[in-house]
Amino acid sequence: MEFGSTILDYFRDESAEATEFRRLHSKMLNLHGGQEFKNVLITSATISEGKSTAAALLACTVARYRDTKTIIVDCDLRRPRVHTLFGLPKDDGVADVLSGKRSLDACFKPSPIDNLQVLTSGGVIDNPTELFNSPRMKDLFSEIKFYFDAVIVDTPPIIPVTDSLILSTEMDGAIMVLKAGETKKQIVNRAVELMRNSGLNILGVIVNNMKGVLPYYYDHRYYGYDYTPGSTEEKFF
Ligand SMILES: Nc1ncnc2c1ncn2[C@@H]1O[C@H](COP(=O)(O)OP(=O)(O)O)[C@@H](O)[C@H]1O
Ligand SMILES: [Mg+2]
């Protein structure tokens, strides 16, 4: 994906990404007994594994194919990217609501996809951890869930900052993005351990085959999805 592209460049009906995410979405439903997940965190062990891209594509897919009120929320206050993917200004978002500068309903931004709204990260702040760990974060999500049927949350990676784990009680679970062939097994296992310890349900793992390192018998070009009730280890390494 080229720098500066927006998610719409990739979310066209005939695009490989849109097709993969449609497949991924139905696979998720099948693996979870047809049960639709409503509120999910997208995370990864480390940076640059493709979380924000996957979160945006998943949000577009859910909004389009479920035909339900959906929002993508950028909770990566350190390296926000959702606004860029949707070609929106970053300001008036999560940080502004948490710091009491804006009301939530004044911050929802429309996206080019029907049924999908965006809550960007908001203005620059110097205390993301403090904001994240304040009880207002949980309140914010209770309120978001009141307005939307499906909530997709882009978060910082687990290993450097465990901030996003505070949301575990507000979410149905997390989907972990894993950059195929690159993320070290010990790091992934540590991230999984941290998620489990905080009671965050791992709904599945998206294997992002950015550089085509997976062998051909993985019959997908970019993404794979799997449910990992046990260890991630036996499946991905
Ligand atoms: N499947 C993919 N194929 C090619 N490039 C990708 C893919 N997924 C992500 N990228 C690129 O990798 C970089 C990091 O992706 P991003 O979604 O911002 O990761 P993260 O949120 O985990 O830091 C971006 O430049 C993005 O365009
Ligand atoms: Mg990101």
pLDDT in tens, 56-114: 999 999 999 888 999 999 999 989 999 999 999 999 999 999 999 999 999 999 999 99
Whether residue 22 has pLDDT greater than 80: yes
Which ligand places an atom closest to the C-alpha of 209?
A: 1
pTM: predicted TM-score of the whole model, two decimal places: 0.90
Residues 6+ apart with CB under 8 A from 117: 69, 70, 71, 72, 108, 109, 110, 111, 148
Kind of pairing between the strands at 202-208 and 223-226: antiparallel
Which ligand places an atom closest to the C-alpha of 76?
A: 2
Q: How far away, in angstroms, is 222 Cα from ligand 2 center?
A: 17
Looking at residue 123, what is its pLDDT? 92
Ligand 1 nearest atom to the CA of residue 76, by list position: 21
Q: How far away, in angstroms, is 76 Cα from ligand 1 center?
A: 14
Does any ligand 1 atom lie closer than 6 A to the CB of residue 64?
no
Which ligand places an atom closest to the C-alpha of 10?
A: 1
* Measured distance CA(218)–CA(47) in Å, rounded: 24
**Between 3.90.420.10, 3.40.50.300, 3.40.50.1860, 3.40.50.1400, what CATH number should domain 7-236 receive?**
3.40.50.300
Helix or strand (DSSP H, E) at 206 = strand 202-208
* Cβ atoms within 10 Å, residue 117: 21
Q: How far away, in angstroms, is 211 Cα from ligand 2 center?
A: 18
| Residue of the CA atom closest to atom 3 of ligand 1 | 210
DSSP assignment letter at 123: S
Whether residue 233 has pLDDT greater than 70: no
Looking at residue 235, what is its pLDDT? 43
Ligand 1 nearest atom to the CA of residue 209, by list position: 1
